[in-house]
Amino acid sequence: MSAKPLTFIGRVIKAGIAEGEALVSPEPIGFLGGVDGETGIVTERGHPLEGQCVAGKVLVFPTGKGSTVGSYVLYQLAAQGLAPAAILNAESEPIVAVGAIISDIPMVDQLPIEQLRTGDRVQVNGARVSIESTEKTN
């Protein structure tokens, strides 16, 4: 039996509608040098998502980090059809926000991301984020 879906209202950084499987990192993500713009694979050594692909996922992480060129890595991913379906943060920062805006990736922050798990089914509709947990409950 699955748990009741959770719904949160966050702050819209880039409005949009998206749905997909969550890919959750407990650590910040830097797109320049951390995610391959040609493949969508997380390449940062030692990162919890190292080796995983962000394409089509609802990418969940606390905040961004790194160079302003990271915005263009997100744009490159979008241009190649490898962008995340949406981005959810605890607290957005300008690099990822600009990347989401120029790449038309729905983005919401001010969310309790610690309640999401990789594999959860997530729907984003403006500020509303609904999560269907894949964890089984008794």
Q: Is residue 1 part of a domain?
A: no
Catalytic residue, chosen from 25, 67, 92, 130, is 67
Please say whether the dihedral angle defined by the alpha carbons of residues 56, 129, 117 and 4, taken in this order, is positive or negative.
negative
Coil, helix or strand for 136? Answer: strand
* Per-residue pLDDT tens over the stretch 78-104: 999 999 999 999 999 999 999 999 999
Q: Is residue 137 part of a domain?
A: no
Q: Between the CA of residue 64 and those of 30, 99, 109, what are the distances in Å?
A: 6, 11, 11
Q: How many domains does the chain have?
A: 1
Q: Dihedrals φ, ψ of 125, to 5°?
A: -140, 95
Our answer to whether residue 67 is catalytic in this structure is yes
**What is the residue range of 85's domain?**
6-132
Q: Is residue 49 part of a domain?
A: yes
Q: Which of the residue ranges 1-5, 51-55, 63-67, 105-109 would you say has the lowest mean pLDDT?
A: 1-5
Determine the residue type at 115: Q
pLDDT at 1: 44
Give bridge partners of residue 6 from the DSSP assignment.
131
Cα 50 to Cα 114: distance, rounded to the nearest angstrom: 19
| Closest listed residue to residue 20, CA positions, set 67, 99, 83 | 83
* Per-residue pLDDT tens over the stretch 6-61: 999 999 999 999 999 999 999 999 999 999 999 999 999 999 999 999 999 999 99
| Closest listed residue to residue 123, CA positions, set 108, 102, 101, 103 | 108
Q: Is residue 40 part of a domain?
A: yes
Cα 87 to Cα 104: distance, rounded to the nearest angstrom: 11
Q: What is the CATH number of the domain that holds 46?
A: 3.50.30.10
Q: Given pLDDT bands bounded at 50, 70 and 90, which one contains residue 3?
A: low
